[in-house]
């Protein structure tokens, strides 16, 4: 069994149909042999720019690829997905079916190892294919092949409806006088399946398909998809955002995740089944816009399907957004917290004020004043030194749990606790939940505020007062950020609550709280269902614009606005979005990349303002940027749009390219009466955060460079989006992090995909010892540096077998020892079973059959059967082969 260390790259080829016979039968048969140099050059020329730069085509190993055809999918012949069952669409589908049949026959003749696995025709035209990687260019050279894409391994990413205003919308009426609660709208959940028998979902579930197991029951084994479906449309003990919407479920993710081809199949089925809205709370750790899922989802949106996609949970750094959230026509969704109230205090007679994160469910009394006293670490001994009865205590937190400090204070007679930890920043307070059950109120302070309070105490100012409880919504730290590589597009588009979201799960517990952008995206999908019901004539672009234009801008606890690449337009506000009478598209925009120190750059973008009301409107514009130095933005002061009309607006920007290298962002605001709409925008001056190397893959996670001819090397593949002046590969031993080796160096590495073999040596030809390593690729120029990493394990020794026959002669007791077995924890991270580490088998004397013995560190045994002895068998050979290919054989007697 082979393990891959990062995202598993397979390859999906997109193939055009009629030209697959461009080679003669003789030439087709010969393609598995070495072609003349002239023919190789011709093929390379024809294939140029068709093969995704994210595919390593140097290996001879088979990979799964998507071949995209030039021929348009069925969705291209209709204006709306509702027309897919029309006669013209059915006629075109029959033509495509025949074309695909012919293409498949010809495709498999190109090379004997080409295998067609799946086909697509609705929002994507092509095949899922297995092919030797070094043969991909031959397929790509066919005139009607549009592109060849990699397939990625995807994973699932991770009652909030009241926060985004859904209950208020339920009280509204649509054009038929019915409540706006999602009725009549189909929402497709493309995920791990859905528990269709859950009491809160069974009335909404209308069908689906299990793409993983190929059956009609997409039952959820993981719970993720059921949680997502509940956020969208639960209608029982808890309510989803659109409780009367219908749920279609497509299971595309199994226990180990899912592939591009399975997800693509789910998308196509959802479109064909008439989904109005689609939710994908899944993603891959790859950031680029050129991908089959991106193409398919953009096409689905083009023909009328609103698509919400989780932006990813890869943290607060730039460039962490993952496929398929990189698609420009979907609504990419980041995660915010639910609204939390923070008490704000001030010290009487001073200008000192401070915020605290509520630790206890019990709040501080309103309009109260209190005396403060410092009790150090708040131990019982500390309380014996000072009178704290009726006072609030300032306590420094050590190693004990928070409730211990609060309990100690309560026992000593204190009426409130102001707790702080050394080095705690103000931003750290944002993730704290008010969960303690203590009977006196307590807050967590930033360390700097505690220092200021102590200074006030020394100055004789010991009285503080509660000024107010102020509500905040913060960005979740795990929520991925933009921009998108190559396009510099703004992502996420919007955010929604994704922390501690309660929803449905399978099993007896029925409900659970989960965190993740997986929980935020379905709130947007539910919102889209409400908007589609209220405004059936709105396009997916209109829905996206209304949610973005009217979103609430979020700030951190200091009042500083989160940047555009963190929150997009902000947190959705469904009542405002559904009542919007103006739509501005695109919902955000980027001026792209400005080359550093290239003089003054002048750029412009066009927007469209659509007035959906029955009266003429005049909009006033203004622009806000975090910095105005060296930047000039121009937009018309006023724009008049007639009733039910639209007008274009051009935004121009002049940039001093000598500004610091960074991503710059701002907002264009359009105001008409009480209505205010916003459109975020960005431009970039080759930012230092831009990854000079953004992918590193190791083909074989475990290999054995010990000279025995088995698994002697592993293949490295990495992608450089722009020229890297210096590129170094380092190896760090995770068991001894002080040991770092340089294993590869290169200069002036061109943009694109690169690959090479690594045989386990450093640059100075020294063999690295056995161990588990982090391999890090570091790319740099004169000013900036970026890196990416992958894991690799070097195993050079064979397993050790100890075999002993028990006293009765009925069982052979075994003990297996191997270098890999000490890394069980490591393999579990990748979902691999212990039995994958070492394969143990026996061969009975006189036979050739290998019988597997399950690996068990506690107890392993082989039953000695009497029939063996009766037939004259006297021995067996036991073999132990580890995953690196190292093998030990030992012959043992069946009798003592």
Length of the chain: 896
Q: What share of the chain is helix, strand, coil (3-state, %, to 5)?
A: 20, 35, 45
Q: What are phi and psi of 88, to 5 degrees?
A: -60, -40
What's the token pair of residue 146? 């549009």
Kindly state whether residues 188 and 127 are assigned to the same domain: no
Kindly state whether residues 170 and 285 are assigned to the same domain: yes
* Rounded Cα gap, residues 425 and 447, in angstroms: 7
How remote is the C-alpha of 11 from its chain's centroid?
20
Q: Strand 416-420 relative to strand 392-396: parallel, antiparallel, unpaired?
A: parallel
3-state secondary structure (DSSP) of residue 148: strand
Which of 56-60, 396-400, 656-660 is most confident? 656-660
Confidence (pLDDT) at 889: 94
Residues recognised as catalytic: 191, 224, 518
Single residue among 761, 794, 827 that ends a domain in this structure = 794
pLDDT at 729 over 50: yes
- Give bridge partners of residue 262 from the DSSP assignment: none
Which residues fall within 8 angstroms of residue 502, CB to CB, at 6 or more apart?
159, 160, 238, 511, 512, 513
Kindly state whether residues 536 and 675 are assigned to the same domain: no
Average pLDDT over residues 315-320: 87
Confidence (pLDDT) at 48: 59
Structure confidence at residue 47 as a pLDDT band (50, 70, 90): low
Confidence (pLDDT) at 157: 61
pLDDT at 28 over 70: no
Confidence (pLDDT) at 163: 53
Buried b / exposed e over 597-609, threshold 16 CB at 10 Å, is eeeebeeebebeb
Residue 429 forms part of a structural domain: yes
Is the model more confident about 786 or about 871?
A: 871
Lowest mean pLDDT among 85-99, 481-495, 652-666: 85-99
What's the token pair of residue 352? 């000192």
Kindly state whether residues 174 and 33 are assigned to the same domain: no
Kindly state whether residues 202 and 297 are assigned to the same domain: yes
Confidence (pLDDT) at 412: 94
Kindly state whether residues 460 and 572 are assigned to the same domain: no
**What is the CA angle 248-497-502, rounded to 5?**
65
Kindly state whether residues 195 and 311 are assigned to the same domain: yes
Quick check: 396 and 378 in contact, CB under 8 A? Answer: yes
Lowest mean pLDDT among 666-680, 783-797, 840-854: 783-797
Average pLDDT over residues 891-896: 89
What's the token pair of residue 516? 């993740």
What's the token pair of residue 734? 């995770």
What average pLDDT does the chain have? Answer: 86
- pTM here? 0.78
Residue of 330, 301, 284, 689 whose CA lies nearest to 493: 330
% of the chain at pLDDT higher than 90:
55
Structure confidence at residue 288 as a pLDDT band (50, 70, 90): confident
Structure confidence at residue 728 as a pLDDT band (50, 70, 90): very high
Kindly state whether residues 549 and 494 are assigned to the same domain: yes
Average pLDDT over residues 590-599: 91
Confidence (pLDDT) at 4: 37
How buried is residue 486: exposed, middle or buried, by Cβ count under 10 Å (0-12/13-18/19+)? middle
Single residue among 739, 765, 794 that ends a domain in this structure = 794
Which residues fall within 8 angstroms of residue 230, CB to CB, at 6 or more apart?
198, 200, 201, 238, 240, 503, 504, 505
Structure confidence at residue 164 as a pLDDT band (50, 70, 90): confident
pLDDT at 5 over 90: no
- In sequence order, what E strands does 31-183 have? 62-69, 115-120, 126-132, 145-151, 153-156
Kindly state whether residues 465 and 501 are assigned to the same domain: no
Residue in this structure with the two tokens 């955010």, named with its chain if needed? 495
Single residue among 445, 472, 499 that ends a domain in this structure = 472
Confidence (pLDDT) at 323: 93
- What CATH number does residue 270 fall under? 3.40.50.200
Confidence (pLDDT) at 804: 92
* Rounded Cα gap, residues 112 and 29, in angstroms: 8
Kindly state whether residues 518 and 595 are assigned to the same domain: no
Confidence (pLDDT) at 577: 97
* Rounded Cα gap, residues 428 and 448, in angstroms: 12
- Positive or negative CA dihedral for 610, 615, 621, 624? negative
* Rounded Cα gap, residues 888 and 766, in angstroms: 26
Residue 516 forms part of a structural domain: yes
Give 234-258 pLDDT, tens digit per residue.
999 999 999 999 999 999 998 778 8
Quick check: 263 and 66 in contact, CB under 8 A? Answer: no
With residue 407 as reference, give the H or E element that holds it: helix 402-411
Confidence (pLDDT) at 255: 78
Confidence (pLDDT) at 78: 78
Lowest mean pLDDT among 64-78, 301-315, 695-709: 64-78
pLDDT at 159 over 80: no
Cα–Cα distances in angstroms (integers) from residue 97 to residues 90, 100, 119, 300, 812, in the given order: 10, 5, 10, 20, 59
- What CATH number does residue 646 fall under? 2.60.40.2310
* Rounded Cα gap, residues 18 and 698, in angstroms: 37
Average pLDDT over residues 498-525: 94
Residue of 360, 358, 501 whose CA lies nearest to 429: 358
Structure confidence at residue 62 as a pLDDT band (50, 70, 90): confident
* Rounded Cα gap, residues 753 and 879, in angstroms: 40
Lowest mean pLDDT among 33-47, 204-218, 486-500, 804-818: 33-47
* Rounded Cα gap, residues 421 and 444, in angstroms: 8
Residue of 416, 421, 477 whose CA lies nearest to 448: 421
- What CATH number does residue 764 fall under? 2.60.40.4070
Quick check: 705 and 760 in contact, CB under 8 A? Answer: yes
**Domain assignment of residue 728, given as a range:** 695-794
- Count, in order, helices (H) and strands (E) of the chain: 17, 49
Q: Strand 186-191 relative to strand 887-893: parallel, antiparallel, unpaired?
A: unpaired
Confidence (pLDDT) at 833: 53
Kindly state whether residues 160 and 262 are assigned to the same domain: yes
How buried is residue 761: exposed, middle or buried, by Cβ count under 10 Å (0-12/13-18/19+)? middle
Q: What are phi and psi of 528, to 5 degrees?
A: -60, -35
pLDDT at 776 over 90: yes
Is the model more confident about 58 or about 158?
A: 58
Cα distance between the two ends of the chain: 36
The DSSP string of 832-862 is --GGGTEEEEEEETT----EEE---SS-EEE
Residue 687 forms part of a structural domain: no
Q: Strand 463-472 relative to strand 306-310: parallel, antiparallel, unpaired?
A: unpaired
Residue 690 forms part of a structural domain: no
Which residues fall within 8 angstroms of residue 706, CB to CB, at 6 or more apart?
712, 796, 797, 886
With residue 592 as reference, give the H or E element that holds it: strand 589-594
How buried is residue 387: exposed, middle or buried, by Cβ count under 10 Å (0-12/13-18/19+)? exposed
Residue 881 forms part of a structural domain: yes
* Rounded Cα gap, residues 590 and 664, in angstroms: 10
Evaluate the omega torsion of the peptide bond into residue 882 and state whether it is cis, within 30 degrees of 0: no
Residue 5 forms part of a structural domain: no
Kindly state whether residues 804 and 765 are assigned to the same domain: no
Average pLDDT over residues 848-877: 88
The DSSP string of 93-131 is HHHHHHHHHHHHHHHHHH-TT-EEEEEE-SSS-EEEEEE
Quick check: 517 and 501 in contact, CB under 8 A? Answer: no
Confidence (pLDDT) at 40: 54
- Give bridge partners of residue 794 from the DSSP assignment: 703, 771
* Rounded Cα gap, residues 84 and 393, in angstroms: 69
Is the model more confident about 689 or about 402?
A: 402
The radius of gyration computed from the CA coordinates of the chain, to the nearest angstrom, equals 31
3-state secondary structure (DSSP) of residue 155: strand
* Rounded Cα gap, residues 334 and 490, in angstroms: 12
Q: What are phi and psi of 588, to 5 degrees?
A: -155, 170
Which residues fall within 8 angstroms of residue 153, CB to CB, at 6 or more apart?
7, 8, 257, 258, 259, 284
Q: How many distinct structural domains can be found in the chain?
A: 6
With residue 208 as reference, give the H or E element that holds it: strand 205-210
What's the token pair of residue 799? 């397993």
Confidence (pLDDT) at 828: 60
Residue 408 forms part of a structural domain: yes
Residue 2 forms part of a structural domain: no
Confidence (pLDDT) at 754: 84
The DSSP string of 417-482 is EEEE-TT--GGGGGG----B--SS-EEEE-HHHHHHHHHHHHTT--EEEEEEEEEE--B-TT----
Q: Strand 62-69 relative to strand 10-14: parallel, antiparallel, unpaired?
A: parallel
């Amino acid at each position: 069994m082979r393990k891959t260390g990062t995202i598993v790259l397979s390859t999906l080829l997109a193939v055009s149909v009629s030209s697959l016979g461009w080679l003669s039968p003789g030439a087709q048969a010969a393609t598995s042999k070495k072609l003349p140099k002239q023919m190789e050059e011709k093929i390379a020329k024809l294939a140029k720019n068709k093969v995704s730069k994210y595919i390593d085509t140097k290996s001879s190993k088979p990979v799964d690829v998507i071949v995209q055809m030039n021929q348009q999918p069925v969705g291209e012949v209709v204006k709306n997905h509702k027309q897919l069952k029309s006669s013209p669409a059915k006629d075109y589908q029959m033509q495509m079916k025949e074309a695909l049949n012919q293409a498949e026959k010809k495709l498999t003749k190109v090379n004997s190892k080409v295998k067609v696995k799946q086909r697509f025709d609705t929002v994507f035209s092509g095949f899922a294919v297995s092919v030797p990687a070094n043969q991909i260019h031959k397929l790509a050279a066919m005139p009607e092949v549009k592109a060849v894409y990699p397939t990625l391994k995807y994973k699932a990413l991770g009652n909030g409806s009241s926060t985004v205003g859904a209950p208020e919308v339920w009280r509204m009426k649509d054009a038929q006088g019915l409540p706006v609660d999602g009725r009549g709208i189909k929402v497709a959940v493309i995920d791990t399946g859905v528990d269709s028998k859950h009491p809160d979902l069974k009335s909404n579930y209308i069908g689906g398909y299990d793409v993983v197991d190929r059956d009609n029951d997409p039952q959820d084994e993981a719970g993720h998809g059921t949680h997502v479906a509940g956020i969208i449309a639960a209608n029982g003990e808890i309510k989803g955002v659109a409780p009367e919407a219908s749920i279609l479920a497509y299971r595309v993710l199994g226990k180990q995740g899912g592939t591009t081809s399975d997800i693509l199949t789910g998308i196509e089925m959802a479109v064909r089944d008439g989904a109005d809205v689609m939710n994908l709370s899944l993603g891959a750790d790859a950031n680029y816009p050129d991908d089959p899922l991106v193409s398919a989802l953009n096409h689905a949106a083009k023909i009328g399907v609103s698509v919400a996609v989780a932006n990813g949970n890869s943290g607060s750094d730039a460039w962490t957004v993952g496929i398929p959230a990189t698609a420009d026509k979907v609504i990419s969704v980041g995660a915010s917290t639910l609204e939390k109230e923070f008490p704000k205090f001030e010290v009487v007679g001073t200008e000192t004020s401070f915020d605290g994160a509520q630790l206890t469910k019990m709040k501080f009394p309103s309009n109260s004043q209190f005396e403060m006293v410092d009790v150090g670490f708040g131990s019982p001994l500390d309380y014996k030194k000072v009178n704290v009865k009726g006072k609030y205590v300032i306590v420094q937190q050590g190693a004990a749990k928070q409730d211990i400090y609060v309990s100690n204070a309560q026992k000593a007679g204190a009426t409130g606790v102001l707790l702080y930890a050394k080095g705690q920043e103000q931003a750290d307070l944002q993730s704290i939940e008010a969960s303690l059950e203590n009977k006196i109120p307590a807050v967590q302070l930033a360390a700097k505020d505690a220092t200021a309070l102590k200074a006030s105490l020394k100055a004789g100012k010991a009285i503080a007062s509660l000024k107010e409880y102020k509500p905040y919504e913060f960005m979740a730290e795990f929520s991925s950020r933009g921009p998108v590589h190559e396009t510099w597009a703004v992502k996420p588009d919007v955010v929604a609550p994704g922390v501690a979201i309660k929803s449905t799960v399978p099993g007896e517990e029925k409900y659970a709280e989960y965190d993740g952008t997986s929980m935020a995206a379905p709130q947007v999908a539910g919102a889209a269902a409400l908007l589609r019901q209220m405004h059936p004539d709105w396009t997916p672009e209109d829905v996206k614009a209304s949610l973005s234009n009217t979103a609430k801008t979020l700030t951190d606890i200091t009042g500083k606005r989160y940047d555009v690449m963190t929150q997009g337009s902000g947190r959705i506000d469904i009542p405002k979005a559904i009542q919007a009478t103006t739509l501005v598209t695109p919902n955000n925009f980027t001026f792209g990349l400005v080359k550093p120190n290239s003089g003054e750059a002048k750029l412009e973008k066009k927007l469209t303002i659509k007035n959906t009301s029955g009266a003429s409107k005049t909009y006033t514009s203004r622009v806000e940027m975090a910095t105005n130095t060296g930047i000039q933005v121009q937009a018309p002061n006023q724009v008049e749009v007639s009733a039910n009309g639209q007008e274009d607006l051009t935004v121009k920007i002049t940039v001093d390219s000598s500004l610091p290298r960074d991503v710059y962002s701002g907002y264009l605001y359009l105001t008409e009466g009480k209505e205010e709409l916003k459109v975020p925008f960005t431009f970039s001056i080759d930012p230092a955060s831009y990854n000079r190397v953004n992918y590193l893959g190791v083909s074989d996670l475990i290999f054995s460079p010990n000279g025995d001819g088995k698994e002697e090397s592993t293949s490295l593949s990495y992608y450089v989006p722009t020229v890297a002046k210096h590129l170094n590969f380092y190896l760090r031993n995770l068991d001894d992090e002080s040991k770092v080796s340089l294993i590869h160096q290169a200069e002036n590495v061109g943009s694109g995909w690169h690959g090479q073999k690594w045989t386990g040596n450093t640059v100075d030809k020294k063999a690295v010892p056995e161990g588990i390593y982090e391999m890090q690729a570091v790319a740099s120029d004169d000013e900036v540096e970026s890196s990416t990493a992958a894991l690799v394990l070097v195993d050079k020794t064979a397993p050790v077998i100890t075999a002993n026959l028990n006293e009765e002669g009925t069982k052979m007791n075994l003990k297996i020892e191997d270098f890999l077995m000490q890394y069980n924890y490591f393999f579990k991270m990748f979902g691999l079973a212990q039995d994958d580490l070492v394969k143990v088998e026996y061969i009975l004397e006189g036979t050739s059959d290998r019988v597997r013995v399950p690996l068990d560190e506690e107890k392993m045994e082989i039953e000695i059967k009497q029939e063996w002895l009766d037939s004259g068998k006297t021995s067996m050979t036991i073999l132990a082969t580890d995953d690196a290919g190292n093998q030990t054989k030992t012959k043992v007697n069946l009798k003592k």
